[in-house]
Chains A and B, each alone.
With several copies, the nearest count.
Chain A
Amino acid sequence: MNRDKLSEPCPKMEYIRNCAVDLCVEIAGISMKNPVMVASGTFGFGEEYAKIYDINRLGAVVTKGITLLPRHGNPPPRLCETPAGLLNSVGLENPGVERFIREEWPRLKKLPVPVIVNIDGDTVEEYREIAKRLSELNGLAALEVNISCPNVEKGGIAFGQDPGSAYEVVRAVKEAATLPVIAKLSPNVTSIQKIAAAVESAGADAVSLINTVLGMAVDIDRQRPVFKRIFAGLSGPAVKPIALRMVWEAYEAVKIPVIGMGGISTWRDAVEFILAGASAVAVGTAGFIDPEAPLKIIDGLEKYLVECSICESALKTSGEDKTIKLRDIVGLAHKNFTEGDFS
């Protein structure tokens, strides 16, 4: 019932109907037909959701985090709902890089969509190894270096909480990999800008953020933490305002593209992230509730771009070109804030 501006008649609509809309983005050398990806760990290796909708419509697919050796992950419970949020303590359960290559990659590589593999390690050396191994795969679009997993004993988030270690890991991956490298940042830091700058200087081709926010829950009947690892990662709508702020900050701190995620559920959320500086967005938790959320977001972005007020500004920046380009509104809120009369 939220009155949808898009459905209201608009005098400029006729003109605008004749405009083409271009949702393409290029990030870290990866060409995506639209900026909507799925977030690591929320999409498995693509198999499950391929049964539910046409995943080829996605801008890109990001796999569950892969480590050098297989991991069993954490004991149950692994999930706990919170107000508008989800705590997870999956703990990087994954088949390891070799089984990934053997069992998942043959299917993934046939997708007509860029596939990005999320990688994790306990040590810099492990990151380097896995990056080297994955670089041998033909057709892999990029590596997303997870330096922000809150659910493991070693490595993970620790790498992402210190600019020095973040630099080191990304540098190592960059050296080992022949693929574009995306650094996935942790929100659990005092200054996301310092971390973003560190991974940029280490050669990252893009940053993606945010990973989950450290949280916890207590079982008041058993009077102990819900999770065996005590802390877990918070995702979903609850974290959206935090993620958006960090995307804004990262956009101001680095020149490489920013991939935004954290609580994105609707096209409106996606637009907020894009205006705040995200060149692409990823949908995670929202896909559990509505698997088709990414597709609805793609459709919504298209409509948003043709909507009157947007057109004006987009056309302004696009000059004579009648194509309305999504990439023209990336970070627009920064420009409008600086230039605008805010009262």
Chain B
Amino acid sequence: MERKGDILAGLLFSTKVIQNVLIAYDIYHMKICCPEVAEKAAPGQFLHIRCSDGPTPLLRRPISIAGANEKDGTVEMVYRVLGEGTRLISQKKAGEILDVMGPLGRGFPVPLDAVDPVLIGGGVGVAPLLYLAQKIAGPLSRSGRSGAAFIGFSTAGEVFGVDFLKSCGFTVFLTTDDGTAGQKGVPTEAFENCIKGHEVQKQFDIVYACGPKPFLAKVKDAAVRGKIPAYLSLEERMACGVGACLGCAVKSAGEGYKKVCRDGPVFEAGEIQL
């Protein structure tokens, strides 16, 4: 792991890829070595990744941190190959160099007190929740509280993270759009049914969610109705990733716009309009 830039830096790193493997349909799990990020990162923060040396694709790509290990200095990501940028990232082989900026943004507030947390994730939105689960696992087991994770994918072939979430002490409710794994449906519904007591009645103290905007809007509604504080991780196209270009706007609950890269990607549900 070579450190780029001068001593001020600490955000620009030329890291070594340790592994980069296909774990589900079009979904990769990458591990890089970057002790500085591993040390500082908070769940919900992201890395801004350069995918090519040339001018196409031009911009970096934001990918959430899906895990970090202070001891061996590794950082993990789980990402879906969507277009050219992620395709190029997926081609990186172990031993190759990956240019990353980070950790960037404001992450999830990790509860200090004993709470019953619920994680709600759709598709690759599950990725940042894995790191969050990793961080919550200790407190959760120490306090004897229970956590639940509602995660959904379009089909069985895309499922990832179930075992990891279980190993962190979470009860996992899995849904798929086509019913090929878990329950047929979407995790937001499963979550609503749950707090409404339709199937397994359960109350939660805090909601953490990540997924597409309409998905988060449903989580927000359910959380508001259930009077549970909710933290939502948003996506928006990014250029700078650090708040300098004002490109990644999301409508604020008050006037004007928040920046996903700087004020988020995690927002308290009340801060923003979805």
Question: A residues bordering B, Cβ < 8 Å?
Answer: 1-3, 41-44, 47-54, 64, 72-81, 83-86, 88, 90, 93, 236-238, 265, 285, 287-292
Residue of B nearest to A38 (CB): B244
Beta-carbon contact of A51 and B11 below 8 Å: yes
Beta-carbon contact of B248 and A78 below 8 Å: yes
Beta-carbon contact of A236 and B242 below 8 Å: no
Beta-carbon contact of A75 and B12 below 8 Å: no
Provide the residues of chain B in CB contact with A73, threshold 8 Å: 246, 249, 256-257
Beta-carbon contact of A54 and B256 below 8 Å: no
Other CB < 8 Å A-B pairs besides A1-B87, A52-B8, A93-B257, 13 of them?
Answer: A2-B82, A3-B82, A44-B243, A52-B12, A72-B257, A75-B249, A75-B257, A76-B250, A77-B237, A78-B248, A88-B245, A88-B247, A289-B60
Separation of A90 and B237 alpha carbons in the complex (Å):
12
The residues in B between 214 and 248 inclusive whose CB is less than 8 angstroms from any CB of A are 236-248
What per-residue 1/0 map shows which CB atoms of B245-262 lie under 8 Å from chain A? 111111100011100001
Q: Which one of B26, B59, B60, B242 contacts A52 once the chains associate, using CB atoms below 8 Å?
A: B242
Q: List 27 A-B contacts (CB under 8 A).
A: A1-B81, A41-B246, A47-B243, A48-B242, A51-B242, A52-B8, A53-B12, A54-B6, A54-B8, A72-B256, A73-B256, A75-B249, A76-B257, A78-B246, A78-B248, A79-B239, A79-B248, A83-B56, A85-B58, A93-B246, A236-B55, A285-B239, A288-B244, A289-B60, A290-B50, A291-B5, A291-B12
Provide the residues of chain B in CB contact with A76, threshold 8 Å: 236, 248-251, 257
Beta-carbon contact of A81 and B87 below 8 Å: no
Is the C-beta of B84 less than 8 angstroms from some C-beta in chain A? yes
Separation of A43 and B101 alpha carbons in the complex (Å):
16
Provide the residues of chain A in CB contact with B83, threshold 8 Å: 1-2
What per-residue 1/0 map shows which CB atoms of B1-17 lie under 8 Å from chain A? 00011101111100000
Least distance between B250 CB and chain A CB atoms (Å): 6
Interface SS, A side? loop
Is the C-beta of B73 less than 8 angstroms from some C-beta in chain A? no
Beta-carbon contact of A236 and B256 below 8 Å: no
Is the C-beta of B57 less than 8 angstroms from some C-beta in chain A? yes
Least distance between B85 CB and chain A CB atoms (Å): 9
Q: Which one of A3, A77, A237, A287 contacts B55 once the chains associate, using CB atoms below 8 Å?
A: A237
Provide the residues of chain A in CB contact with B237, threshold 8 Å: 77-81
Interface SS, B side? loop
Provide the residues of chain B in CB contact with A85, threshold 8 Å: 58
Beta-carbon contact of B59 and A77 below 8 Å: no
Given A86-B239, A288-B60, CB of A53 within 8 Å of CB of B6? yes
Provide the residues of chain B in CB contact with A86, threshold 8 Å: 58-59, 239
Given A48-B242, A49-B244, CB of A289 within 8 Å of CB of B9? no
Question: B residues bordering A, Cβ < 8 Å?
Answer: 4-6, 8-12, 26, 50, 54-60, 81-84, 87, 90, 101, 236-251, 255-257, 262
Provide the residues of chain A in CB contact with B50, threshold 8 Å: 289-290
Provide the residues of chain A in CB contact with B262, threshold 8 Å: 48
Beta-carbon contact of A53 and B9 below 8 Å: yes
Separation of A67 and B56 alpha carbons in the complex (Å):
34
Residue of A nearest to B60 (CB): A289
Separation of A79 and B11 alpha carbons in the complex (Å):
23
Provide the residues of chain A in CB contact with B241, threshold 8 Å: 288
Provide the residues of chain A in CB contact with B257, threshold 8 Å: 72-73, 75-76, 93
Separation of A165 and B31 alpha carbons in the complex (Å):
56
Residue of A nearest to B237 (CB): A79
Beta-carbon contact of B56 and A84 below 8 Å: yes
Beta-carbon contact of B251 and A75 below 8 Å: yes
Separation of A288 and B237 alpha carbons in the complex (Å):
13
Least distance between B62 CB and chain A CB atoms (Å): 12
Q: Which one of A1, A90, A237, A292 contacts B12 once the chains associate, using CB atoms below 8 Å?
A: A292
Separation of A77 and B247 alpha carbons in the complex (Å):
8
Beta-carbon contact of B11 and A288 below 8 Å: no
Beta-carbon contact of B55 and A52 below 8 Å: no
Beta-carbon contact of B11 and A64 below 8 Å: no
Provide the residues of chain A in CB contact with B82, threshold 8 Å: 2-3
Least distance between B28 CB and chain A CB atoms (Å): 12
Separation of A73 and B249 alpha carbons in the complex (Å):
9
Separation of A178 and B262 alpha carbons in the complex (Å):
35
Separation of A85 and B101 alpha carbons in the complex (Å):
21
Provide the residues of chain A in CB contact with B59, threshold 8 Å: 81, 86, 288-289
Provide the residues of chain B in CB contact with A238, threshold 8 Å: 55
Provide the residues of chain A in CB contact with B90, threshold 8 Å: 1
Least distance between A180 CB and chain B CB atoms (Å): 25
Least distance between A229 CB and chain B CB atoms (Å): 13
Separation of A65 and B251 alpha carbons in the complex (Å):
21
Provide the residues of chain B in CB contact with A290, threshold 8 Å: 50
Separation of A78 and B58 alpha carbons in the complex (Å):
16
Separation of A86 and B9 alpha carbons in the complex (Å):
26
Beta-carbon contact of B55 and A84 below 8 Å: yes
Separation of A42 and B87 alpha carbons in the complex (Å):
27
Provide the residues of chain A in CB contact with B248, threshold 8 Å: 76, 78-79
Separation of A123 and B134 alpha carbons in the complex (Å):
55
Residue of B nearest to A226 (CB): B237
Q: Give me the 8 closest cross-chain CB pairs, A-B, nearest first.
A: A44-B244, A84-B55, A72-B256, A79-B247, A1-B87, A48-B244, A237-B55, A48-B242
Beta-carbon contact of B55 and A292 below 8 Å: no
Least distance between A96 CB and chain B CB atoms (Å): 12
Given A72-B256, A93-B246, CB of A51 within 8 Å of CB of B8? yes
Provide the residues of chain A in CB contact with B12, threshold 8 Å: 52-53, 291-292
Beta-carbon contact of A88 and B242 below 8 Å: no
Q: Which one of A72, A90, A292 contacts B5 once the chains associate, using CB atoms below 8 Å?
A: A292
